[in-house]
Amino acid sequence: MIRNSTLIALALVLSASVPARAEIDLSGSWASINHEDALERGAGPNPDDWAGLPFNESGRAKALSFSQSVISMPERTCWFQTQWHIAAGPFSLRMWAVPDPITGKVQAWVVAAWETRAPMTIWMDGRPRPSKNAAHDQTGFTTGVWNGNELIATTTHLKTGYIRRNGAASSDQATITTHFRRHGDMLTLTLFMEDPVYLTEPYILTRSYNLSTNPVPIGGPPCIVGDEGVESGRVPHYLPGKNPFLDEIAKRYGIPPDAALGGAETMYPEYREKIRAKFVRPAKCTINCG
Amino acid sequence: MSPKLSLVLALGTLLGTSLAMPVALSAQGRGAAPPPPQTAKAAASIDLTGYWVSVVTEDWRYRMVTPAAGDYQGVPMTPAARAIADAWDPAKEEASGDVCKSYGAPALLRVPGRLHITWQDDQTLRMESDAGKQIRTFHFGGWKAPAGPHTIQGDSVAEWEGGGRGATDASMKVTTSNLKAGFLRKNGVPYSDNANLTEYYELIAQPDGAPLLVVTIVTTDPAYLRQPFVITSHFKKEPNAAKWNPTACSATW
C-alpha cells in the first residue's frame, strides 16, 4: 500500500513537472472568409485561367482537354471534389474532436463534410498509413500531428480530382498537407498540394475563417448522380489545339493568353516584366466585377 | 538490469530533475538581482530574417497586373468606398505624384516582390520591400508611437505569440495604426486614414521542410470597409540578395 502511494505521489510530481502537450482547441463552426480568390472560390474560375498554377506539361495538356460538360456524365458527376475542395471551395468548416472511448485522448479531428466533399477525419492516434496499393477515393486517408499549437494534417490515397475548378486536375498520386493555425477567433489554413504527375512544385493556397456561433452543418448533401442527357459513350473534351477558351482572360481582362496557361514562373514577381508589354488593361470591368 | 530497477532509476532521475529545478531557481532568487527582461530578438522562437519572395497563387489578376476600374471582387466595400473607387483615374494618379498609395502597409505584402527582414536593434524588426522601396519597422517592448502625421506605413507595435516547447508555431502579431489613406488594390479600392491593421507573421514548413512565411492581414476601416478585410500572403525564403530588385512605386503597374 505504501509502495503504491509512493508511486502515485511520484507520478503526480512528474506529471506536474513535465510541460503539458501543446494543443489548441479547434472545435466549433468556422465561417469562411472569401475575400481572396472570391470568384475562383465562389462562382468558379474563368475558363482556361490557370495563371499562378505550377503546371507541368501533362497538367497543362489535361487541363486544355477539359470540357465543363464532362460533369454531365454519370461517371464523372461527382469526380472532382477531393479534400482540396477545402482550399478551393467557398464553404465554412465545422470541426470537432473524437475521443478514444477508453482513454479519453483525442483519437481524431473531424472536418465536417459539405457539398459533395466527404468529411476529413484526421487520425491522431498514430495509426499506420494504408498500403500504397490500398483503394483510393475522394476522401483519402489523413493523419495529423501537433507542432505546438499548430495541427498539421497529411492526406494521401486520393482519387484524381481538381486543383482549380476549370479543368486543372490532381492525380491519384497527390498529397495534400493542411496546416491549421488559430489566432483567437480566427483560423488560418495553409494548404500544399504536391502532385508528381501534374505539378512541378507544390501549389499553395491559404484560407481564413472566423469562429461563428451559427452552426455550420455537420454533413453536406451527398453528390447525387443524375442523367443529364449525355449519350452513353461520349466523353466531352477538346482535342489538342481545339480548346475554344484560350483567349478568354485576354478578352475579359487584357491578360496575355500565355499567362493563362500557367506554369511555376507565373507565380513569381519576375513574370510581371515578361507580360508587361503585352498587358492591355480594359477601361472598365464588365463581368464578375464584385 | 531488471525492468523494475530500470523503472526506479528512470523515476528517480526524472524526480530529481523536477525537484532540483525549483531549488535552483530559488537559490538564484536569494540576494541576486532579477534577470533583465528578454529582448524581442532573444525571445524570438522563429527566425523571420532574410530575403523572401512573393508566391502569387491567389488574387492573381489583382496583383500581377493592374485590374480594370470597377473590378472589386472580394472586397467588402462600403458605398462610400465604391464611389471613390469608381472615380479612379490612373492617369490622374500618376500625374499627382502620389504614386505609392497601393504600397501602404495594408497592401504592401500583396505587391509581387521581395522582402528583406532584419533586426534593426534588439527590440525592432525592420522589413524592406524592393517593390516600391518601402520600409516598415515593427517595435516590440511597449513602444509608443510618437505624435505626428499619419504615414504610408503607419506605426507598428509587435509582440510574439505562442512558441516555445521546441515547436515552431510562434507568430509575430503586429498592430498598425496612424496610417495615411491609400489603396487596398491598385485600381483605387480605398482605405482611409482611420484604417487599422492586425497581422500575424508565421513560418509554415513546406513539404520539403523549407520555411514559408505566411502573413495573415486583417484591415479594419470604419469608413470604407463593411467588415474586416482578411487576406493572406505567402513568401518563400531566398538564400541571398541576388534577386533583390528595387523598383519605384507605380500608380499604373
Q: How far is residue A237 from each of residues A49, A65, A67, B29, measured CA to CA in Å?
A: 17, 5, 5, 76
Question: Both B87 and B173 in a single domain?
Answer: yes
What is the rounded average pLDDT for all residues in chain A?
Answer: 90
Contact: B164, A202; criterion CB under 8 Å: no
Residue B125 and residue B17 share a domain: no
Q: Report the pLDDT averaged over residues B183-205.
A: 98
Mutation target among A186, A265, A281 for the B interface, most CBs of B within 10 A? A281
Q: Distance between CA A150 and CA B162 in Å, rounded?
A: 10
Give residue A19's pLDDT.
37
B123 & B9 share domain: no
- Look at residue B50 and tell me if it is in a domain: yes
Q: Clarify whether residues B194 and B119 are in a common domain.
A: yes
Helices (H), B104-253: 105-108
Are residues B150 and B80 part of one domain?
Answer: yes
The pTM (predicted TM-score) of the whole model is 0.89
Is ipTM strictly over 0.85? yes
Mean pLDDT of B87-100: 93
What distances in angstroms separate CA A189 from CA A151, B27, B216, one per listed residue?
10, 45, 10
Indicate if the pLDDT at residue B143 is higher than 50. Answer: yes
Question: Do B143 and B122 form a contact (C-beta atoms < 8 A)?
Answer: no
* pLDDT > 50? residue B14: no
Per-residue model confidence (pLDDT) at position B230: 98
CA-CA distances (angstroms) from residue A140 to A74, A155, A192?
21, 6, 15
Taking 50 as the pLDDT cut, the residues of chain A under it are 1-2, 7-20
**pLDDT per position as a tens digit, B59-82:** 999 999 999 999 999 999 999 999
CB contact under 8 A, A14 and B74: no
| Domain containing residue B14 | 3-35
Do B113 and B24 fall into the same domain? no
Count the neighbouring beta carbons within 10 Å of the beta carbon of residue B107. 22
Contact B56 A268 (CB under 8 A): yes
Size of interface A-B (CB pairs under 8 A): 183
Together in a domain, B197 and B80: yes
B146 and B206 inside one domain: yes
Give the rounded distance of the alpha carbon of A131 from its chain centre.
Answer: 23
**Diameter over CA atoms, chain A:** 87
**Does B200 contact chain A (CB < 8 Å)?**
yes
Q: Which domains does chain A have, with CATH numbers?
A: 19-230+237-290 (2.40.128.20)
- B193 and B139 fall within a common domain: yes
Q: Is residue B143 part of a domain?
A: yes
Q: Would you give the distance in Å from CA A284 to the centre of its chain?
A: 33
The reply to whether B226 falls in a domain is yes
* Residue owning grid cell 535552483: B24
A208: helix, coil or strand?
strand
- Mutual angle of helices A2-17 and B3-29, in 10-degree steps: 50
Q: Compute the nearest-CA separation of A274 from chain B (Å).
A: 11
Residue A20: per-residue pLDDT: 38
Q: What is the pLDDT of residues B222-232, one digit of tens each?
A: 999 999 999 99
Out of A206, A249, A268, whose CB is closest to B53? A268
**B51 and A CB contact within 8 Å:** no
Residue in A24, A151, A183 to test binding to B, most B beta-carbons within 10 Å: A183
Same domain, B30 and B109: no
d(CA A145, CA A139): 19
Give pLDDT, residue A13.
42
B55: distance to nearest CA of chain A, Å? Answer: 5
State the pLDDT at residue B153: 98
CATH at residue B179: 2.40.128.20
Smallest Cβ–Cβ distance between B232 and the set A206, A279, A290 belongs to: A206
- In three-state secondary structure terms, A272 is helix
Q: What average pLDDT does this structure show over B3-20?
A: 42
- Residue B248 covered by a domain: no
Q: Which of B82, B102, B204 to mutate to test the interface with A (most CBs of A within 10 A)?
A: B204
**Inter-chain residue contact B58 with A51, CB threshold 8 Å:** no
Same domain, B145 and B226: yes
Task: Tell whether B21 and B53 lie within a shared domain.
Answer: no
Provide the H-helix boundaries in A18-132.
38-41, 57-64, 85-88
Report the pLDDT value the prediction gives residue A39, as an integer from 0 to 100: 93
Q: How many domains, chain B?
A: 2
Report the C-alpha gap between B172 and B160 in whole angstroms: 5
Q: What is the pLDDT of residue A217?
A: 87
pLDDT, position A275: 97
Q: Which of B65, B113, B207 sits opposite A192 (nearest CB)?
A: B207
CA distances from A265 to A176, A262, A270, B213 (A): 22, 8, 8, 19
